[in-house]
Structure 1
Amino acid sequence: MPHPLPALIVVDVQCAFDEWEAAGKRRNNPDAVKRIADLLKAFRANGAPIFHIRHEGTKPNSTFLPSRTGYAVKDEARELPGEPVIVKRVNSAFIGTDLEQRLRARHITTLVICGATTNHCVETTTRMAGNLGFDARLVRDATWTFDRIGPDGDAHSAEAIHAMTLSNLNGEFARIVTTGDVVASFAAE
């Protein structure tokens, strides 16, 4: 029998991204971490499962190495005792981890996904969740990304990348929702 509540998947809300910003990288959605905190509060208040995903860098210069300050989780998204932390070393939270097994063992079928960055680890985790048959819901105002230069040398804004990623995932891999939608869904049950 499916778990009656969705699980919150919090992807890579780590201090490395603050370091990137401090070094001059520009991001979109400045309130994303506040929305993640709102989601955590709602899931905790309703006794819904939460899984924290942490990225561990593997390259010598990675800001996500466990020995570096960027590996730490931002205070607003810190796990509480009993909330599992799953460490990944690639973009997908499902590769090289036991996330899928944990979800299946608890009969969880619906995943609410938030975190960073929209077009990397969040997107890859969301695509795999959809392909694995989960009812994936990506929270558009609880994720963010950074400006990037494409292979053609053109500059792409974080806002455009974020919007395109949501468009690519919508319908086929996930339903795109807001924090308000998710919080309201608890009140409706």
Structure 2
Amino acid sequence: MADNTNPASATALIVIDVQESFRQRESWQAASDPEVATQVARLVDYAREQGHPVIWVLHSEPGSNTVFDPESGHVRLIDGLTRAEGEPLLTKTAHNAFTTTNLQQILTARGIRSLITCGIRTEQCVETTTRLASDLGYDVTFVVDATATEPIEHRDAPAGRPLAEVLADPRTLLPADIIARTEYALAGRFATVSTVKELTGS
């Protein structure tokens, strides 16, 4: 457990939804970074070296019969990521990591005032958590290249189309555009936008 008398413990890394569920979907083939877990692992190593607590968050949709249903067996960390002893693992059912978990209680108990956020999806759960954290008074660093996302279909697009049709639709918002928009939306308003290299120095 982090030592609250150590200034390093005033910052925590929040790893959001880097879970096997996403890799089970066809859309993951078009993800911005299918190997995002490698970047996340670099951040986790950095956080542990700095004495920052690491808090893991998974998304769950019980009873949905989807890859996010715990019964599917996919609501678990992506293979290759390892949670150390004592690192909290929270399960959420909302987009942000606060509303349906005791995340804020954990942060308050540990004296955390600054957060580093990363995970899947860039513009959804990671951005939403970042925005809420900022509104709650946390100083947030959003590590953009330790996030990943997938194409987003137009709101009027028919459901259930194969990936090839989604990508061929000119109305589909592609990952690079989604990530750029998220950077513009967050920077200077809700977070400092950084990269793994900029944050870790390596």
Tell me, yes or no, whether TM beats 0.5: yes
1:49 matched to 2:49? The reply is no
Cα pair 2:65 2:72 within 8 Å, conserved: no
1:81 matched to 2:81? The reply is no
1:17 to 16, 22, 26: 22
Q: CA deviation at 1:91?
A: 0.4
Q: Which amino acid aligns with 1:160?
A: D
1:128 matched to 2:132? The reply is yes
Q: CA deviation at 1:134?
A: 0.3
- Which entry has the higher C-alpha Rg, 1 or 2? 2
Cα pair 2:28 2:150 within 8 Å, conserved: no
When structure 1 is superposed on structure 2, of 95-104 and 72-81 the one drifting more is 72-81
1:140 to 127, 137, 144: 144
TM-score by length of 1: 0.89
**Structure 2: stretches of 5+ with no match in the other structure:** 158-170
Q: Which amino acid aligns with 2:36?
A: A
Identify the residue that residue 156 of structure 1 maps to in structure 2.
Answer: 173
Q: CA deviation at 1:140?
A: 0.7
When structure 1 is superposed on structure 2, of 72-81 and 155-164 the one drifting more is 72-81
When structure 1 is superposed on structure 2, of 71-80 and 164-173 the one drifting more is 71-80
TM-score by length of 2: 0.84
1:8 matched to 2:25? The reply is no
What SS class does the counterpart of residue 38 from structure 1 fall into? helix
Q: CA deviation at 1:83?
A: 0.5
Q: Which amino acid aligns with 2:177?
A: A
What SS class does the counterpart of residue 143 from structure 1 fall into? strand
What SS class does the counterpart of residue 52 from structure 1 fall into? strand
Q: CA deviation at 1:69?
A: 2.8
Cα pair 1:137 1:177 within 8 Å, conserved: yes
Identify the residue that residue 199 of structure 2 maps to in structure 1.
Answer: 182
| Cα deviation 1:121-146 (Å, max 9, x = unaligned) | 10110110111010011001100100
Aligned length: 184
Cα pair 1:3 1:107 within 8 Å, conserved: no
Cα pair 1:14 1:54 within 8 Å, conserved: yes
Distance 2:104 2:187 in 1: 22
Distance 2:128 2:197 in 1: 24
Q: CA deviation at 1:13?
A: 0.5
